[in-house]
Homo-oligomer: A and B are copies of this chain.
Amino acid sequence: MGDADILNEQLASALPAAWRCLSPLGRAAAFPRGIPFQADEARDCTVNATIGQLTDGRGNPLPLPGVAGSMDGVDPRRAFLYAPIDGPEDVRRAWGERERRLAGGPDVPTSLPIVTHGLTHSLSLLADLFVDPETDVVVAAPSWGNYKLIFGMHAQARIVAFPFFRGGRFNVEGLVAGLASIRSKGVLVLNLPGNPTGYQPTSDEVAQIVAAVRSHQGPLVIAVDDAYQGWIYEEGRHQRSIFWDLCEGVDLDRHLPVKVDGATKELVFFSSRVAFLTHPSAGEEADAALRSKLKFLIRGTVGSASGPALGLVQRALASPDLESAFAERKALLAKRWNTLRAGLATLDEARVRVHPFNGAFFALMTLDRSLDAEAVRRRLLEEHSVGVIAFPQFNAIRVAYCSIHDEDLPELTSALHAVLDAS
């Protein structure tokens, strides 16, 4: 009996009217035992590597100076009155300009970004707009578990998964096979660098991915989940979002790339719930048509974004120190990345395959069949007070080093050694 069945039985006996009123989605609903569930179990751990948000490793946030502190410099009208449904125009403009600047000023026209309630909401809007039971949604595996909820459970898509890695690189052949299995229309989700792999491809790999996408006959929406944009620590990796590569010479008859990004990680403002949706411009009229549909969907789900957070995002985007402050945070993570990489290299390769990682906030490792990821997670939790996330279906462990202090990383590595030796 699945989790949802158990809940439905409980409701049937104690809240019969509620149970009888459930929609098909309501009947299927049950909070998954994924990352938030496992993170909750680890909340009292000494070393808690479960949650993908940057902290000082002592539970405290490291907000950018432009975001942190008081509401000084934030217009009270902005902070306390309703925002436009698609966001204040100055914030949308400032965000779009920064994105283009970070990408080196690409020569492709794009729409003015629309403000959403965070990256989940952006993806949920794309699901509402483009996904129904006839849609195939192609995602790498493993990938963020919420894709399954958003596209599969809510929007009833068929999820087509292909293995993320192949020979220590992004699995372009798997992507081609995934795209080939689309029945009529599709959505491809790309999350580079991403969760849980922490992998950013080289420019060479990006060119191959773009070629694979370009060869698909469509119609295809490419949702570029740029949550971790800019968080890349290794030389020789593609530096800009693949969105821009997909836009260059895009055939809008067949393809629509959509950039899904936001303040969450790019402005180190995890609680903000301020994100953006951008697509290649197809002229004022068509951009307005798509915006009208998106505004309709925003209005009928959550309304406009939260004022105090929007005000702080606006202030941060206007701050002359933004890029240097971000670079500082990135240097901090690069140091942790280096330490962790050295530590994980000491693990027995025959039992633990540590996948290449060089971006975002995570290291991912697949365990040998003689080991059980969920059992390893439990022992780390209970015997060493170390919290990590297990992906039982991949027999894999994810370490979110964004929330671990540099000094605690050796403890994490030695706990892994101890549990593996004893398992």
Looking at the complex, which one of B14, B31, B79, B255 makes contact with A296 (CB distance below 8 Å)? B31
Cβ–Cβ contact B17 & A150, under 8 A = no
Residues in B with CB closer than 8 Å to A67 are 80
> Beta-carbon contacts of A287-311 to B below 8 Å, as 1s and 0s?
0111111111101111111111110
Q: A29-B296, A30-B292 are in contact. Are A252 and B15 (CB under 8 A)?
A: yes
Stretch at the interface among A216-224, A365-373, A412-420: A216-224
The A353-387 residues at the B interface (CB cut-off 8 A) are: none
A135 within 8 Å of B (CB atoms): yes
Among the interface residues A120, A288, A309, which one has the most CB atoms of the partner chain B within 10 A? Answer: A309
Nearest-Cβ distance from residue A302 to partner chain B, whole angstroms: 4
Nearest-Cβ distance from residue A77 to partner chain B, whole angstroms: 6
Cβ–Cβ contact A60 & B31, under 8 A = no
Looking at the complex, which one of B36, B270, B307 makes contact with A309 (CB distance below 8 Å)? B307
Stretch at the interface among A18-26, A93-101, A195-203, A336-344: A18-26
> Beta-carbon contacts of A239-256 to B below 8 Å, as 1s and 0s?
000000000000111111
A422 within 8 Å of B (CB atoms): no
Nearest-Cβ distance from residue A362 to partner chain B, whole angstroms: 15
Q: How far is the CA of A271 from the CA of B87 in the complex (A)?
A: 12
Q: How far is the CA of A286 from the CA of B289 in the complex (A)?
A: 44
Cβ–Cβ contact A301 & B81, under 8 A = no
Nearest-Cβ distance from residue A156 to partner chain B, whole angstroms: 9
Residues in B with CB closer than 8 Å to A297 are 25, 29
Q: How far is the CA of A310 from the CA of B144 in the complex (A)?
A: 26
Looking at the complex, which one of B15, B20, B302 makes contact with A121 (CB distance below 8 Å)? B302
Cβ–Cβ contact A146 & B300, under 8 A = yes
Among the interface residues A11, A82, A301, which one has the most CB atoms of the partner chain B within 10 A? Answer: A301
Stretch at the interface among A51-59, A161-169, A320-328: A51-59
Chain A contact patch, size range:
35 or more
Stretch at the interface among A102-110, A124-132, A170-178: A124-132
Cβ–Cβ contact B301 & A21, under 8 A = no
Looking at the complex, which one of B85, B129, B273 makes contact with A29 (CB distance below 8 Å)? B129
Nearest-Cβ distance from residue A329 to partner chain B, whole angstroms: 12
Cβ–Cβ contact B150 & A300, under 8 A = yes
Cβ–Cβ contact B60 & A76, under 8 A = yes
Cβ–Cβ contact B273 & A10, under 8 A = no
Looking at the complex, which one of B61, B129, B131, B292 makes contact with A81 (CB distance below 8 Å)? B61
Nearest-Cβ distance from residue A76 to partner chain B, whole angstroms: 5
Residue of B nearest to A297 (CB): B29
A92 within 8 Å of B (CB atoms): no
Cβ–Cβ contact A130 & B53, under 8 A = no
A71 within 8 Å of B (CB atoms): yes
Q: How far is the CA of A220 from the CA of B130 in the complex (A)?
A: 32
Residue of B nearest to A10 (CB): B289
Q: How far is the CA of A310 from the CA of B308 in the complex (A)?
A: 10
Cβ–Cβ contact B55 & A286, under 8 A = no
Cβ–Cβ contact B302 & A120, under 8 A = yes
A238 within 8 Å of B (CB atoms): no
Looking at the complex, which one of B80, B149, B274, B300 makes contact with A61 (CB distance below 8 Å)? B80
Q: How far is the CA of A40 from the CA of B84 in the complex (A)?
A: 9
Q: A23-B129, A77-B60 are in contact. Are A308 and B300 (CB under 8 A)?
A: no
Q: How far is the CA of A30 from the CA of B22 in the complex (A)?
A: 28
Among the interface residues A8, A16, A312, which one has the most CB atoms of the partner chain B within 10 A? Answer: A16
A185 within 8 Å of B (CB atoms): yes
Looking at the complex, which one of B23, B51, B282 makes contact with A128 (CB distance below 8 Å)? B23
Cβ–Cβ contact A17 & B307, under 8 A = no
Closest 7 CB pairs of A and B: A271-B307, A14-B286, A306-B306, A70-B70, A149-B300, A20-B219, A61-B80
